[in-house]
Chains A and B, each alone.
Chain A
């Protein structure tokens, strides 16, 4: 009881401090929106968020993509340690398949639109990749197998494509005598689009892989056998 009271008191104090910080916030020293608007013409894109993500702060985005890649690598390694069994996920449902044939083209279209729209309005590689991954999850739930996932080299190439293109483009800036990841002004728009296309593929594959790498259900005969053998 006393511990709960102490926790409640602590929460109350933290809440009060947060509320106070919200009410009594200092005026920003630097007018970032104005600076962003002033620098926008030289960034190669017309949307400030995309300019921040892939031009002014592209190093952060590069690291984010790498973190996602490391997460998929860990999932791959953990999956290797699990007993294997035939992949038998999927609902045999004709209605689901019928709806899928309507939904899939739309989802691909939306992903392409989000990728293209990222240059001048909300959108971009992460959102397009997430829509692609959602299409893949739907396919898997309907029991449609993607033959590309059976070939490890194809999957791994797709996974590293985004980071590789990003790094290569950033390194070419070094050859041109500019800082790492500083796009030349004349080619910035094209380079950002190229990097975003590669990133969309990789992010979609990475998110989908995280879903596909869940271990098989233990009520599967193959897994039960493997686990029984492991116990012995």
Chain B
């Protein structure tokens, strides 16, 4: 199993970096959700299933939904403002 753990750790670093440096906000949010799911798997591997459950439900699920909702709100607001300005 060490290969699996190494891949899991590497994917955590990669998804975190992609969420941070991504130019598109939508992609950053999706990467954040993927990061949350990978983090839940990492908690399971660390034998902390309680935290894994909370991470998957709150970290990846509800926070992701809230972020996507905010993104949709911002997008509509700013596209509408650009249409109005000229």
Contacts and interface: CB of A to CB of B under 8 A. Distances in A.
A149 to B, nearest CB: 16
A184 interface: no
Main secondary structure on B side of the interface with A: helix
A218 B80 contact: yes
Nearest to A207: B62
B66 interface: yes
A122 interface: yes
B80 A130 contact: no
A124 interface: yes
Interface string A101-140: 0000000000000100000001110110011011001000
A210 interface: yes
A124 B70 CA distance: 29
Residue among B58, B72, B76 with max Cβ neighbours from chain A (10 Å): B58
Interface of A: 49, 114, 122-124, 126-127, 130-131, 133-134, 137, 207, 210-211, 214-215, 217-219
15 contacts: A49-B50, A122-B49, A122-B50, A123-B50, A123-B53, A127-B53, A130-B62, A131-B57, A134-B57, A134-B62, A137-B62, A207-B62, A217-B73, A218-B76, A218-B77
